[in-house]
Amino acid sequence: MSNPSLLILPGDGIGPEVMAEVRKVIDWFGAKRDMAFDVSEDLVGGCAYDAHGTPLTDETMAKAQEVDAVLLGAVGGPKYDTLDFSVKPERGLLRLRKEMDLYANLRPAQCFDALADFSSLKKDVVAGLDIMIIRELTSGVYFGEPRGVFKEGNERVGINTQRYTESEIARVARSAFELARKRGNKVCSMEKANVMESGVLWRDVVQEIHDAEYPDVELSHMYADAGAMQLTRWPKQFDVIVTDNLFGDLLSDLAAMLTGSLGMLPSASLGAPMANGRPKALYEPVHGSAPDIAGTGKANPIACILSFAMALRYSFDKGDEATRLEEAVNAVLADGLRTADLLGEDGVQPVSTAEMGDAIVAKLDASL
């Protein structure tokens, strides 16, 4: 039986640095847990543009379609700000999501006990927080047509179209209900049905899927702006939140900062099952390429490492090993190790990107 395959796309900025620490973890699982992966590596984003004149080559896209999972670092940077929109680094990531049909974006917001004081909210509001936002990823206003900037009379007008079909809503709703059954069995669907027809359809379809297929899961509906308010008031009232592409983008970033640092948060983008029964999948940290600290050793690799933990759980059916890795991260934080983005206590010296990766591998050793 062949090893599971993994395509690594480090990308730009701090992407290669944090991905180097993930490689240490992958190597550890191969050496100590008899979990070898067939790993290949390629370019995406600005570095792909520099080498090939495109943020994602057809060859790399084909590889992504064939492997069991893709692990991406980050894309973009000010160097590429003046490029035409069609070849900006972010277009490489959007192409991966669209052509792999990765319609369900899972973004957990989990507050580790050792970092509860880093949130801008009171400790009792965020301590123990563990919620999941599922964002529809391949439709909605980011992809709808018509779109563009046009001349209308004597002025320009910018147009983007919010568009959803029943089937697009239904499949991401099913993802939310299935995940909720493995967690707190509770889903809150968020839209703007009070002012948007697409929101009316969204609410109707989610309710229909619930009533017909998941009546055992508790379902509530909330307007997305009220949801943003409730996330900052008492986020622990939620378990799984499902929402559209635009609102999911906004709400998941808001939820991310409840935990204190974007450097801590992973994500998964899942699609339809392949022939082997595994979903097509891309895993990536929530943070960006952070070009201001690239090459300095200050980047926090934890979000990227936890993205690999999500791959273990959702692509490779290794939930116990994913938990092992998450507990190793928690143990390192409990010991007081901090990268520069997590400094808050006086007198605490930051560890480097590589030192944090080494410490997590040491905790994995200790778990045996």
Residues assigned a catalytic role: 142, 192, 225, 249, 253
**SS3 readout for 104-133:** EEEEEEECCHHHHHHCCCCHHHHCCCEEEE
Question: Minimal CA–CA distance to 283: which of 263, 299, 268, 301?
Answer: 268
201 vs 208: CA distance, rounded Å: 10
Exposed (0-12), middle (13-18) or buried (19+): which is 125, by Cβ within 10 Å? middle
Max CA separation in the chain (angstroms): 70
- Distance between CA 122 and CA 225 in Å, rounded? 21
Measured in degrees and rounded to the nearest 5, phi and psi for residue 179 equal -65, -40
3-state secondary structure of 227: helix
183 contact partners, CB below 8 Å, separation of at least 6: 132, 239, 240
Name the 3-class secondary structure at 221: strand
Q: Which residues fall within 8 angstroms of residue 349, CB to CB, at 6 or more apart?
A: none
Separation between Cα atoms, residue 16 and residue 21, nearest integer Å: 9
Give the integer Cα–Cα distance in Å for 342 and 118: 7
